Amino acid sequence: MINRAVLVGRLTRDPELRTTGSGISVATFTLAVDRQYTNAQGERGADFISCVIWRKAAENFCNFTSKGSLVGIDGRIQTRSYDNKDGQRVYVTEVVVDNFALLESRKNRESRGQNGDFPPAPNNNGNAGTQSTNNSQTNGTPSSTKKDNNSSKPKDPFAGSGDTIDISDDDLPF
């Protein structure tokens, strides 16, 4: 049997760190994970996934993350139930985190905290908000596929080749 969950998303609020009666640290948080597809209005939905992390990892997670932090988690899905104070049975599904990765630099996290905004998306080498000064290549990608600073449209990688591309609707997989 396999029960693995790998998620990348942003924290919806600061993680809550508590200690059990036996002195074990436990943190709970909710991860907002964007859906892959957009709806008819072009808006991208998100799933809000409850997560729990235990022991020293919980303490480290709380020390290095805050609301809006971009994190990757690896864990397993767990279901449990309990009776609330009204005597009703409550069912909970959550991800129990085994490992996590911080996916933004401390500099971007702190700047986001100061202005309440999210940092720019990371480029191919993972250094968010930085650009290469080499115009011929950036991170091994030809500059013809990058956006030109003077236009809002990406450059055409086939411009000037003289070859035309003949594609019919029958050739497309969708």
pLDDT at position 113 is 62
Instruction: Output the CA–CA distances (angstroms, integers) from residue 10 to 89, 92, 110, in the order listed.
Output: 30, 21, 15
pLDDT at position 117 is 54
What is the b/e burial string over 32-55, where b = at least 16 CB atoms within 10 angstroms of the residue's CB? eeeeeeeeeeeeeeeeebebbbbe
Which residues, including other chains, have CB under 8 Å from residue 115's CB and lie 6 or more apart?
none
| CATH level 2 (architecture), domain 5-115 | Beta Barrel (2.40)
Kindly write down the DSSP assignment for every residue of 24-75, as one continuous string.
-EEEEEEEEEEEEEE-TTS-EEEEEEEEEEEHHHHHHHHHH--TT-EEEEEE
Q: Find, among 35, 78, 36, the residue nearest to 53 by Cα.
A: 78
Convert the pLDDT of each residue in 128-165 to its tens digit: 433 333 333 334 444 444 444 555 566 666 666 666 66
Domain range list for the chain: 5-115, 136-163
pTM, to two decimals: 0.61
CA distance 75 to 101: 12
pLDDT at position 138 is 39
pLDDT at position 153 is 62
Backbone phi, then psi, for 63, in 5-degree steps?
A: -70, -30
pLDDT at position 38 is 86
pLDDT at position 142 is 42
CA distance 51 to 27: 8
pLDDT lower than 70: segments of the chain: 112-174
pLDDT at position 73 is 95
Q: Where does 116-171 have alpha helices with state H?
A: none
Residue 18, CB-side half-sphere exposure with 13 Å CA sphere: 7
